[in-house]
């Protein structure tokens, strides 16, 4: 299944009847520069890091991942 141009037969219907509503729902979005999904405390790459040929590029990717998780100074993000 290719999700680049739409969801195909898939849909995002929300919670089942009788369930409490959630804080959100899944949505398809277009990204031309990334193959990753992230939240405030996790990062999932859509490829193995070992597939990045250059050690310098792998380092840049890991630096961005770590900065997104712990902040640019290396300490934890301040609580909201």
For residue 50, the 8-state DSSP code is G
Q: Give pLDDT, residue 79.
A: 43
Structure token pair of residue 59: 């380092």
Q: Give pLDDT, residue 41.
A: 82
In the chain, domain spans:
36-70
- pLDDT tens, position by position, 36-55: 887 878 888 888 889 899 99
pLDDT above 90 for 4: no
- pLDDT tens, position by position, 10-39: 777 777 788 877 766 666 666 666 678 878
Strand (E) or helix (H) holding 42: strand 42-45
For residue 20, the 8-state DSSP code is P
Selected residue with higher pLDDT from 70 and 59: 59
């Amino acid at each position: 299944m290719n999700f680049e141009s739409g969801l195909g037969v898939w849909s995002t219907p929300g919670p089942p009847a009788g369930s409490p509503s959630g804080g959100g729902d899944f949505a398809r979005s277009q990204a031309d520069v990334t193959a990753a999904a992230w939240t405030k405390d996790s990062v999932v790459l859509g490829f193995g890091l070992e597939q990045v040929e250059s050690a310098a590029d792998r380092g840049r990717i890991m630096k961005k991942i770590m900065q997104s998780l712990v902040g640019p100074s290396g300490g934890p993000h301040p609580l909201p």
